A = this chain, B = another copy of it.
Amino acid sequence: MKVLIVDDELLIRNVIKEYLKIENIFYDEAENGYQAIDLVKTNNYDCIIMDIMMPKLDGYSAIKEIKKFSNAKVIVLSARTEEYDKLSGFDLGIDDYVTKPFSPKELIARIKAVCKRNEKAIKITSIGGIKINELSRTVLIDNEEVEFTQTQFDLIALFLKNPKVAFTREMIIDNIWGYSYEADNRTIDAHIKLVRNKLGKYKNCIKTVRGVGYKFEYNE
């Protein structure tokens, strides 16, 4: 997930950036409409957070231009409520609207909400007799529900969504615990053990790739 922050005030951009970092959302920034357009042309953003009142090219004009070649979602930041009516009059395809001063938490939540609509609603993945539902966070083994803890679920989900990919322990840690987590490599083994046990007869679908890590490969 990647967003573009467009605002002429450094202070505002910095606040937003702080919160995006916490959420591990990637971002770029622009301080006026022209910069924004250039960036959108060369990057693939899921969402653009656009201030309206800016020197050089204002947000309103920038959105109009951007919408011609990008289908990124747009959240407008605006100081005054009146602007809403003005904007809604034009059919700019604005996806959400936040007034300044805003709660960063709210902005983040709206970014997520707006981007989620973009994602596929289908959250079910299955390979052979193993089926996971990421919405309910449940695992069915031959249509029987088996309880997985949070980490165990994240692990089987990672494998199921990337079959035949050999993951290093490092990669698994980055994916599930996050980049900054320092975990003992033996810890991964322990979790693999637990997941294998829960997979029952599909235990050996999680293959050891000696010297590397693990991979998921389904076999009858």
Contact = CB atoms under 8 A, between A and B. Distances in A.
Given A109-B174, A149-B211, A210-B149, A136 B166 contact: yes
A113 B171 CA distance: 10
A135 B209 CA distance: 12
A36 B178 CA distance: 30
Contacts of A109: 170, 174, 179
A105 B182 contact: yes
A150 B212 contact: yes
Summarize A's interface: helix, strand, loop or mixed: loop
A137 B150 contact: no
A143 interface: no
Contacts of A198: none
Nearest to A108: B179
Contact of A150 (B165, B180, B210): B210
A164 interface: yes
A105 B150 contact: no
A215 interface: yes
Contact of A135 (B165, B178, B211): B165
Interface in A95-119: 103, 105-106, 109-110, 113
Contacts of A209: 137, 150
A209 to B, nearest CB: 6
Contacts of A150: 209-212
A100 to B, nearest CB: 13
A106 B179 CA distance: 5
A104 to B, nearest CB: 10
Nearest to A110: B179
A211 B170 CA distance: 22
B180 A137 contact: no
A137 B212 contact: yes
Contact of A180 (B103, B136, B182): B103
6 contacts: A109-B179, A136-B164, A136-B166, A137-B209, A137-B215, A149-B211
